[in-house]
Amino acid sequence: MKVLDRYIWKAVDGAIFCAVFGMVVLIATQVATRMIGHSAPWTEELSRFLFIWTTFLGMATGFRHGNHPSMELLLAYFPDAVVRLLRLLTPVCAVVFFGIVCWFGLILIQQQIRYGEISPSLQIGMWVTTLPLILGSALASIGAIMHGFFPDDSEAENALEKSA
């Protein structure tokens, strides 16, 4: 399970790196083409698509590492049994929320494919911009479950140090 988990998140990190690198190259190209007087409109659209991919994959990575919104300040005032229960409530709520987002994302992709929605400059299907919503939601759910129910050894040690 840990090996599969590691490969999934390495692939996600690689995809984020490629998207960010692509955005840098595209924006530099856009600036250069504007300076010579012949703007390339497709660079703006493609960099926007890569930004969407980066945002949703980065959100999923944040949930995997426990860098999501939480109420740590209030946990100091509860007994340990309640704190453990509340720490498990976060991944459960995340899975419910991202399950809903994923479901409606699937409906949106079906609609975009059915009506043949395409982007203005690149002439590619708009479902390409909705796909990261679904992937990011599914990965954020997996990440929240892995972080909440199966924390890494280093994360478990940090949690013990915080509570002591």
Render each residue's pLDDT in the chain as its tens digit; 164 residues: 678 788 999 999 999 999 999 999 999 999 999 999 888 889 999 999 999 999 999 999 998 888 877 667 777 888 888 888 888 888 899 999 999 999 999 999 999 999 999 999 999 999 999 999 999 999 999 999 988 888 775 554 555 455 55
Q: Which of 48, 57, 54 is nearest to 136 (CA)?
A: 57
Q: Which two tokens stand for residue 101?
A: 């987002």
pLDDT at 1: 64
Single pTM value for the model: 0.82
In whole angstroms, what is the distance from residue 68 CA to residue 59 CA?
Answer: 8
Cβ count near 6 (within 10 Å): 10
Residue whose structure tokens are 């919503």: 133
